[in-house]
Structure 1
Amino acid sequence: MQWVDQIHQALENNSFSLYYQPIIPITSTDSNDKHYEVLLRFMDKMGNVTLPMAFIPATERYNIMPAIDRWVISTLFANLGNSRKEKSNICTTKESNRSFIYAINLSGTTINDNKFIDFLSEQLVLHQIPAQAICFEITETVVTANLAQIASKVRAIKELGFRFALDNFGSSMSSWGYLKNLSIDYLKINGTLIKNIVEEKIDIAMVKAINEIAHLMGIKTIAEYVENQEIFETIKTIGIDYTQGHDISKPCPLEIW
């Protein structure tokens, strides 16, 4: 209950901050493509940074996640829109060819909100940003709750031009069936499979299978929790498309380029 009051105040006072973590291409040599995951942080009155795991349970229990998700979207879109306006007068050829993708996590409550698509449409018009610059991430657990409904929502949001990623993939054997019904662009492999991939032969086999099936469906793969060079070299050998983790880059305060 203490978190509930703090969260409402943070939304009113803009006490939340956006951080980013790069998602680095492994096999691509196209340095013009920049891919980032947008992360949420809470700043207390003393200026201390609090990670989401501390307050997200309260937001989910008291149905505050939709408000937070909308704050993240509107804040990021506003920054992107302002950046595009500023660069329109000074943009060089190199800058104009650079492509940015910002991945935003969505809660199940948000994506199931019937008014959410209207909100996205309004934000696109308001801030004049390209929809393809945004990739929404939903977790496998969100999909398991109601596959048919989520698949319908994903299709509707993608019709606006947005991209989609399925996060934490591979946490259950039922994972495979979701891919046939979801129209997604990226597949983020569950970090528990990546963490022990150097030592565990079964984990290596599972990641190889996930990567192969995803590629057959035209889906790019992302390995999370790449924490050291050994893991990086292993997933590179497998053929994973992107890597993300503290060994690559730790989360930093978001700056819009």
Structure 2
Amino acid sequence: DWFLLHPDRLQALALCSINLSASSLAGKEMSGFLVEQFKKTGLPPDKFCFEITETAIIANLTSATEFIISLKELGCLFSLDDFGSGFSSFAYLKNLQVDFLKMDGIHVRNIESDPVSLEMVKSINDIAHLMGKKTIAKFVENDAVLKMLLDLKVDYVQGYGCDTPSVLV
């Protein structure tokens, strides 16, 4: 509704990311509601990216997959948040139609001092790119980490090392 009242902001918007809870994936109500809203409002689905945590997808794999498929058919994008936090992250990645992998910050924040974390970030980034997915590194808190991520060719970064949060309303 806000975007309908502020079409200039919608026009200027590159992408709006929306975090979804695990309970949003449990049934078909939320996906049906969102499909209905996109059809009713005419908002451009390709400007909306739904973020779902890896643990939420694992807990609801079948319904999460159906949820993703139903909204991707409209043109929505999806980000797999906290990627790398689970034990079988790569095992199911080939079957998930997500556009972005948002790396768990636990791997990112110490890459300048922890060679294992650096290799995990590098591996996630390389696999994601091989699969045609973009990567996002969370918890980028300083210039050293930012430079290392740029050298690895991570697509997007997020954290206080890049900028402080702000409200654009």
Shared topology, TM-score over 0.5? yes
Query: Which stretches of structure 1, 4 residues or longer, exceed 4 Å deviation after superposition?
Result: none
Instruction: State which of 54, 61, 66 in structure 2 corresponds to 1:147.
Output: 61
Q: Distance in 1 between matches of 2:36 and 2:64?
A: 21
One-letter identity of the residue aligned with 1:120? L
Aligned to 2:144: 230
- The equivalent residue for 1:247 is 161
- Find 2:6's aligned residue among 83, 88, 91: 83
Q: Higher strand share goes to which structure?
A: 1
Matched-pair contact (CA < 8 Å) for 1:117–1:157 = yes
AA in 1 matched with 2:93: L
8 Å contact kept, 1:112–1:153: no
Q: Report which of the two structures shows the higher radius of gyration computed on alpha carbons.
A: 1
Whether the 8 Å contact between 1:81 and 1:128 is mirrored in structure 2 is: no
After the TM superposition, which of the residue ranges 212-221 and 115-124 deviates more from structure 2? 115-124
Contact 2:103 2:121 in 1 (8 A): yes
Matched to 1:83, the amino acid is: H
- Aligned partner of 1:131 in structure 2 is 45
Aligned mate of 1:165, from 79, 82, 90? 79
Q: Which runs of 5+ in 1 are unaligned?
A: 1-77, 88-94
| Residues in 1 aligned to 2:147 and 2:124: alpha-carbon distance in whole angstroms | 17
TM-score scaled by structure 2? 0.92
Residue 192 of structure 1: which of 97, 103, 106 is its match? 106
- 1:205 to partner: Cα distance: 0.7
% identical aligned pairs: 39
RMSD, matched Cα: 1.9
Please list, as runs of the form range in 1=range in 2, the aligned pairs for 1:69-108 lying within 5 A after superposition: 78-84=1-7, 87=8, 100-108=14-22
Deviates more, 1:134-143 or 1:99-108: 99-108
1:122, distance to aligned residue in structure 2 (A) = 2.5
Per the normalisation by structure 1, the TM-score is: 0.62
Correspondent of 1:221 among 135, 151, 162? 135
Aligned 8 A contact 1:170 1:189 in 2: yes
Distance 2:78 2:138 in 1: 16
